[in-house]
Chains A and B, each alone.
Chain A
Amino acid sequence: MSWIALKMLTGNRGKYLGIILGIAFASLLIAQQASIFCGLMLQTSGQIRDIQGASIWVMDPNVQFSDDVKPLSENDLYRVRGVSGVSWAVRLYKGLTRSRLEDGNFQQTILLGLDDATLVGAPPKMIKGSVFDLRKPDAVIMDLEGYQLLWPGEEPLVGKRFEMNDHVAEIVGICKASRTFQTFPVVYTRYTQALDFVPPERKVLSFILAEPSEGLSVDEVCKRIQTQTGMRAMTGTQFEWVTMKYFMQKTGIPFNFGITVALGFIVGTAIAAQTFYLFTIENIKQYGALKAMGAGNWTLMGMILLQAMLVSLIGFGLGIGAATWFGKIATAPGSRLAFYMAPEVFVGTGLAVGVISILSSLLSMQRVMVVEPAVVFQG
């Protein structure tokens, strides 16, 4: 009966396409919005991912997310270094500063000060220049997107100068960095150099980056640091989740995206279910005839389920395809849109479409189950 079911479905071109479009729309909206949400959440923690070379982040116990910097004292660095199991620990400055361009324009900038000696946390991917050029006086490395934001349309140029806190900074390299939530340019420099670029404060140390000794687990060393210093210590991945959870709990972002995803689900279900139901109603006499000819309820339900599965699969494919295409545009160089289609988004959208498909077919099944074969004799 499968081929009959499929021919019945595809034979009604208008309804067939209508159901597919309904499901594709729902699938697109759910996948696209969920992926933008994931992209945004990834942006909130992008800088943590970009700081590589150390397994442990140490911070003030009251830090809630990566931009919530509560400065530490220099002594704290030495206390961490004194914890048994810590192989090494270095400073990291992270803060916001204002950059002044040649034309007098100002732009907020994220400033990262790396340990002078080791440059731990340096950008992982250089586009122009070298990380080691940071050792030059006034040297900074800027991320490509930040550069394009400050000097739109200009070819990235090493040697370009601007000012931070009335100090001249010279770009010695262009790097690739993760997009930031605030979309500000990211500027890397040495720790001591960073202190020149920001107004003086009593405590300036933002984070301590540390590495456990060989043979010791990161978690174990984190525990030791927390116990012995009272500071908070965690892995980079843990810090990413802490940051993302903060944004999820303290902002309306998940709720707003959740509403759109729910709307996509509801609208998709409504369109698909209604069209599918109408399609069934239109064919109710045919189903009655099949029943009269000896087709059982299970057979007819199987036919409806198969029809629903086919349109769901095609609709899901089209929707995910369109969302992926959108993502390709969103993540193209120069675009500042957030988009990350996590495997969970793919699976979740598939499950949502599955539910839409089941809900749609249930209505139709119920109608076909109750139809009397005698309906075929009603003129």
Chain B
Amino acid sequence: MNGDKSKPLISCHDVKKIYGSGNAEVHALRGVNLDVYPGEITMLVGPSGCGKTTLLSVIAGILKPTSGSVVALGSELTKLTSWRRTNFRRTNVGFVFQQFNLLPALTAAENAAVPLVIQGYTKRAALAESRKLLTQMGMGDRMSNLPGQLSGGQQQRVAIARALVHHPHLLVCDEPTSALDAKTGHTILEILRSIAIEGDRAVVIVTHDSRIFEFADTLARMDDGHIVSLEREHRGHEKEEALSA
């Protein structure tokens, strides 16, 4: 874990991402600069199509930017081969998806154990870890349930447990509250906040949900592939605002 909280866990510098070519070119990111710090929640917000999901995918090592630099945990992600980026994600990144993306045939405990199984853990060892985590998250009595038997909030808890079970340094969340009611969404954000602070992890959230902006340590507003404003709230609750180019 990055022990120094003043140093960013991830640094994006002049990141551009272009989809397609020629007349069909789409500039999803137009030179984004962003630092993501451990122990904090960074939220990417903005209208649909502004590039926030692309930026999240770049930060998570899923997408390779067209140009620019992404340094994550000391590694330049843009220089890693596809195989090494897969390895990077396997050990360092936890994912929480909008639609949860739980495997419908697997129980809650089995779903939460998946990242460990991918890392090569035996089923028994992986399940032991996932059960421990689910119990901590108040899902002890739901571990044998299939996703279809769980409420939206419970499914999201399982998804969070799955994202954390392998102790990643970075947690990326895509619209984690969009499928949930306000109260459940609030609870989920509290969980994510405690994960960030207690686990000293960087949490990056893409969201449209303005009700959860209050949980952000850094709020990056995006539009047309740019970060148009960056609000950073320090521990002492003083706000700093900056505009990217």
Contacts and interface: CB of A to CB of B under 8 A. Distances in A.
B97 A286 contact: no
Interface stretch (B56-64, B132-140, B188-196, B228-236): B56-64
A373 interface: yes
B118 A299 contact: yes
B27 interface: no
B156 interface: no
A379 to B, nearest CB: 6
Given A377-B97, A379-B98, A4 B62 contact: no
Contacts of B53: 377
B107 to A, nearest CB: 9
Interface in B70-125: 83, 86-87, 89-91, 93, 95, 97-99, 101, 103-106, 110, 114-115, 117-119, 123
Contacts of B56: 377
A377 B93 CA distance: 15
Interface residues of B, number: 32
With most chain B CB atoms within 10 A of its CB, the pick from A292, A376, A377 is A377
A150 interface: no
B174 interface: yes
B101 A294 contact: no
A376 B95 contact: yes
Contact of B86 (A11, A289, A294): A294
A290 B103 CA distance: 10
A7 interface: yes
With most chain B CB atoms within 10 A of its CB, the pick from A1, A285, A292 is A292
Contact of B62 (A11, A12, A295, A374): A374
Contact of A290 (B91, B114, B119): B114
B114 A4 contact: yes
Given A12-B105, A294-B91, A289 B62 contact: no
A195 interface: no
A278 B187 CA distance: 37
Contact of B101 (A3, A10, A12, A289): A289
A273 B174 CA distance: 34
A293 B114 contact: yes
Interface in B42-69: 53, 56-57, 60, 62-63
Contacts of B91: 294
A53 interface: no
Contacts of B106: 4, 7-8, 11
A296 interface: yes
Nearest to B146: A11
A379 B115 CA distance: 22
B75 to A, nearest CB: 15
A1 B93 CA distance: 19
A285 B105 CA distance: 14
Contact of A293 (B110, B118, B175, B206): B118
B103 A294 contact: no
Given A292-B95, A294-B89, A377 B103 contact: no
Interface of B: 53, 56-57, 60, 62-63, 83, 86-87, 89-91, 93, 95, 97-99, 101, 103-106, 110, 114-115, 117-119, 123, 174-175, 206
The list of the 10 closest CB pairs from A to B, nearest first, reads A11-B105, A294-B90, A289-B101, A294-B89, A7-B105, A373-B62, A374-B57, A377-B53, A295-B118, A377-B174
12 contacts: A4-B106, A7-B105, A8-B103, A289-B95, A289-B97, A293-B115, A294-B91, A294-B118, A299-B118, A372-B63, A376-B101, A379-B175
